[in-house]
Structure 1
Amino acid sequence: MNVKKISVNRNIVEIFKTNVDSRKLASKIVTDLNQLYPNYRINFDLEDCDRVLRIEGNISIDMLGILNYSRNNNIQIVVIDK
């Protein structure tokens, strides 16, 4: 009997409400966070009323690190409860 292993990707996604109001600032934040967390997929939806920051990781997301980054850079980033 041939047993085939199935790998399941369990991506973690966190969505944040922000006060980011320009593409330039959003781009800087994505660049900064990609340097800190190269394995995350990070993007903004500035068209959304909450100006959403979306972060996806394979195993976990460093919530404390993200929130510290926002505090250190005077950016409002608040977790949106799912």
Structure 2
Amino acid sequence: MITIFKTNINEEQESSVRQFLNLFKEIVKVDFDFEDSDNILRIETVRDIAKQVEVVLNSNGYCCTELL
């Protein structure tokens, strides 16, 4: 399952965000697209954890919204 998020994460914050995402064992792959105006975060997972990812990142000061 691939989920795409609009974020305010920049290249300098990528490694910190990856540490938060490493908490999720369901995540298979993480990609960022900083050239996109929405600073896209794309995750590949074994099940739907979009809401949990949003909660963790938003509660740690990042803006993260799933694009539907």
Query: Could you say which TM-score interval applies, normalised by the shorter chain?
Result: 0.7 to 0.9
Structure exhibiting the larger radius of gyration computed from Cα positions:
1
Instruction: Name the one with the larger strand percent.
Output: 2
Q: Secondary structure at the match of 1:38?
A: coil
Matched, 1:31 2:19: yes
> Which residue of 2 is the match for residue 17 of structure 1?
6
Q: Would the aligned equivalents of 1:30 and 1:43 in 2 still touch at CA under 8 Å?
A: no
Report deviation, 1:56.
Answer: 0.4
Unaligned runs of 5+ in 2: none
Q: Percent identity?
A: 28
Q: Secondary structure at the match of 1:44?
A: strand
User: What TM-score, normalized to structure 2?
Assistant: 0.83
**After TM superposition, which residue ranges in structure 1, 4 or more long, deviate above 4 angstroms?**
none
**TM-score (normalizing by structure 1):** 0.71
- Count of aligned pairs: 67
